[in-house]
Amino acid sequence: MCRCLEVSRSGYYRWRGRLPSARTIRKIRTIEKIRETFCEFKGRYGAPRIACELQELGEPCSRNYVAKLMQQEHIKARNGKGFRYS
């Protein structure tokens, strides 16, 4: 497999045994907090509100970062019911 992908064996095993980076750890932690907040508010909060909630909890993140992670995890806020004239 290494020959086919043109990768050295030592490089492959070094990559396989590597610990997750700080960025990956932060991403996983943020996704967990996004899921908790999303469930806490019964799926009604979108990225802007979740970002505000996380910032209040002390988790530094931007609205765009939260939106990107929500999109990757297929988390989408429910829309409210539209007003119907009668």
pTM of the predicted protein model? 0.77
- Asked whether the beta carbons of 63 and 39 are under 8 A apart, the reply is no
pLDDT tens, 25-83? 999 999 999 999 999 999 999 999 999 999 999 999 999 999 999 999 999 998 877 77
Q: How far is CA 5 from the centre of its chain?
A: 30
Q: How far is CA 40 from the centre of its chain?
A: 16
